[in-house]
Amino acid sequence: MTNDLVEFATDADVIFCIGTNTSECHPIIAMQMLRGMKRGAKLIVIDPKKTDMAKKADIFLQIPVGANIQLLNTIMNYIIQNDLYKKDFVEKYCHGFEYLKEAIKDFTLERLEKEIGADPEKVKEIAELYAKAPASSIAYTMGITQFVDGTANVMSLSNLALITGQIGRPGTGINPLRGQNNVQGACDMGALPNWIPAGNVTTEYAQSQAKKVWDIDLNPNPGYIMTDVPHHIEEGRIKLLYVFGENPAMSDPWTEHFIHAVRELETFIVQDIFLTETAQLADLVIPAATWTEKEGTFLNTSRVVQHLAKAIEPVAGLEPDWKVICNIANIMRLKGFDFAKAEEIWNEVRKLAPKMFGGISYDRIKKEQGLAWPCPDESHPGTPVQYADLKSFLSDGKFRIVPIGHANNEEEREAFESEIRKKCKIPEDYPVACGMPSAKPTKVYPCMFTTGRKVYHYHTGTMTRECKALEFGADIMGAAIEISPDIAESQGIKTGDYAIVENKNGKIAAKVFVNPDLIEGTIFTTFHYYEADGNKLADAEHKDPLSGMNPLKMSIAGIKKISEEEFRNFRIKEDELMHPSQMYKKVKEA
């Protein structure tokens, strides 16, 4: 996030939520937004589903799955055509405005209404409210990123903030809401194929810091992205896989592909606190201490480094994750893993990335209840608001506005990118992007299929489904398939019926809930339940050309009603596939 999440409550005049079911997926952040609304802030929600936050919003616009760029380009075109953009800001601090203006000139309100059915008056109201407010803040999540044009979606949001000057001040900015307490931290620490704490492995700075601190020649080639791992296993490039704190047997797109691929590994190791669906496929399972049983730091969605104190001692023999990894490295006689405590690891991070973390010592974290990076020295107060000096991280200090189009297929996408470069004389090293759908409904698979979370569980339910109060109390409904009323009518399905949803990647079965809050032609489910994991149907073939992200939020599928007996038989087979461990079955039976 460019800004602190508390600013939704204290500073934002307009909160622009797109592709985020905030109250169910990020309830603490939603609470801050609602506090802001009580103060007088206006809430805009854009989503294919009329979520809880949508029902509270001042303006709600329901759009089809994957229509983000069409909408955002239309909003920006309206802002530019009506002189609502900040000319002085754009001229002084940005590159590429004319590129964008050319790229989006044909995205009219009339065209948007024809293509996605969006109410022109409502789109105008959104554009004017966001552009004119003293402080407008953008919030988004995986409803923006998990598409083949996810990077272009994020660039579009950046464009919107830049042309309106909604950046660098409290209550403004572009704010991806991280789903867990340390997602930002994991990325910053190097849980990405091209990253170490000092930055991208291809840069001279990262190379020199690795040499200085670790005394190694850092491999400049990025590693494999996670969703490519099954393919690399099958092709023999990966012989050993070590998974910890992850459950890819449920979280990967086309999950059956992962399940079958790992059987070809020479060695499969899983380190976790529960015997997850992934752990049950492993050759070796290493238990680890839980968050209450270890001490260290988390780096939250607002870029704040926070200290976590140990609450209880772990069961005899259990170690925190970092200690387990160090033990293995020491057995392998690798250098640099002789840490005695978590603070020593954090201090090494500070040496690797002094511009970001140099001033964030344990003493300061504890005393000041956390500090936001960048914080280069111990006299620096931290940076809760990014870009307050209106300078980007690029060498010339200016922000890049990226020309982004929209196409119907890959051929049109390539043509747009080529033509806009030629027409506007855009340098080859300047980014250009184009959105496109990864799938369109067919006769065989006539429905759009998308996924999300609900408030009672998180992700694949590894921890939350072990909580009986959540599993058997609050979340009494369990796994369900939600369908829009038009699908229910055409298929003769009603709430409480059983149904199978199927596409070329797999099938799931569950009870049906006919949900009038879904846009027409849409099926929705979660990925919390092994019994009906929506990721089984997710598209693992297509990828974002820049990030490699699969379109987990956009697939096509068919649905048909089944009997209760058919459902029971399906569920038995699913349980056998996902839970092969006899130990797991004994524990559950007990």
Residue 230: asked if its preceding bond is cis (omega within 30°), the reply is no
At 34 the pLDDT is: 98
Instruction: Please report where in the chains the tokens 């596939």 appear, as a residue.
Output: 577
- C-alpha to C-alpha distance for 390 and 392, rounded to whole angstroms: 7
* pLDDT tens column, 156-206: 999 999 999 999 999 999 999 987 888 999 999 999 999 999 999 999 999
Q: Domain end: 143, 177, 211, which one?
A: 177
Give the three-class secondary structure for 28: helix
Q: Are 33 and 160 contained in the same domain?
A: yes
CB atoms within 10 A of CB 347: 14
CA 453 to chain CA centroid, nearest Å: 12
- Place 339 in a pLDDT band, splitting at 50, 70 and 90: very high
Residue 239 located in a structural domain: no
Q: Are 109 and 189 contained in the same domain?
A: no
* pLDDT tens column, 358-370: 999 999 999 999 9
| pLDDT at 475 > cutoff 80 | no
Q: Are 170 and 187 contained in the same domain?
A: no
Q: Are 43 and 165 contained in the same domain?
A: yes
> What percent of the chain lies above the pLDDT cut of 90?
89
- C-alpha to C-alpha distance for 381 and 368, rounded to whole angstroms: 10
pLDDT (average), residues 509-532 = 96
Are the CB atoms for 73 and 105 separated by under 8 Å? no
Return the minimum-mean-pLDDT range out of 406-410, 456-460, 485-489, 517-521. 456-460
Pairing of strands 506-514, 480-483: parallel
Residue 391 located in a structural domain: no
The length of the chain, given as a count of residues: 590
Residues near 362 by beta carbon (within 8 Å), at least 6 away in sequence: 307, 343, 346
pLDDT (average), residues 66-71 = 97
Q: Are 185 and 149 contained in the same domain?
A: no
Residue 139 located in a structural domain: yes
pLDDT (average), residues 486-511 = 97
| pLDDT at 500 > cutoff 80 | yes
Element (H, E) at 329: helix 321-331
Q: Are 363 and 460 contained in the same domain?
A: no
Q: Are 159 and 21 contained in the same domain?
A: yes
Residue 261 located in a structural domain: no
Element (H, E) at 200: strand 199-200
- C-alpha to C-alpha distance for 1 and 137, rounded to whole angstroms: 10
476 compared with 496, residue with greater pLDDT:
496
Are the CB atoms for 542 and 590 separated by under 8 Å? no
Q: Are 186 and 131 contained in the same domain?
A: no
Supply φ then ψ for residue 215, to 5 degrees: 60, 45
- Place 535 in a pLDDT band, splitting at 50, 70 and 90: very high
DSSP string of 280-303?
GG-SEEEE---GGG--EEEE-TTS
Are the CB atoms for 274 and 286 separated by under 8 Å? no
- Place 581 in a pLDDT band, splitting at 50, 70 and 90: confident
Residue 163 Cα distances to 60, 100, 143, 166, angstroms: 23, 10, 23, 8
Listed in sequence order, the DSSP H helices in 221-320 are 229-234, 248-251, 255-261
Q: Are 35 and 108 contained in the same domain?
A: yes
pLDDT (average), residues 513-528 = 96
> What percent of the chain lies above the pLDDT cut of 70?
100
Supply φ then ψ for residue 320, to 5 degrees: -65, 160
CB atoms within 10 A of CB 442: 11
Structure tokens at 528: 């919390």
How would you class 118 by CB atoms within 10 Å of its CB: exposed for 0-12, middle for 13-18, buried for 19 or more? Answer: buried
CB atoms within 10 A of CB 444: 11
Rg value, the chain, Cα: 24
Residue-range definition of the domain harbouring residue 365? 178-195+288-380
User: Chain-wide mean pLDDT for the chain?
Assistant: 95
Residue type, 363: D
Q: Are 16 and 150 contained in the same domain?
A: yes
> What CATH number is associated with residue 38?
3.40.228.10
Instruction: Please report where in the chains the tokens 């809930």 appear, as a residue.
Output: 513
| pLDDT at 461 > cutoff 80 | yes
- C-alpha to C-alpha distance for 17 and 5, rounded to whole angstroms: 13
| pLDDT at 496 > cutoff 80 | yes
| pLDDT at 473 > cutoff 90 | no
Residue 441 located in a structural domain: no
CB atoms within 10 A of CB 219: 10
- Place 590 in a pLDDT band, splitting at 50, 70 and 90: low
CA 162 to chain CA centroid, nearest Å: 22
Q: Are 49 and 167 contained in the same domain?
A: yes
Number of separate domains in the chain: 3
Residue 20 Cα distances to 25, 28, 138, 379, 517, angstroms: 8, 14, 11, 37, 15
Residues near 236 by beta carbon (within 8 Å), at least 6 away in sequence: none
| pLDDT at 251 > cutoff 90 | yes
| pLDDT at 555 > cutoff 70 | yes
Residue type, 164: T
Residue 243 located in a structural domain: no
- Place 582 in a pLDDT band, splitting at 50, 70 and 90: confident
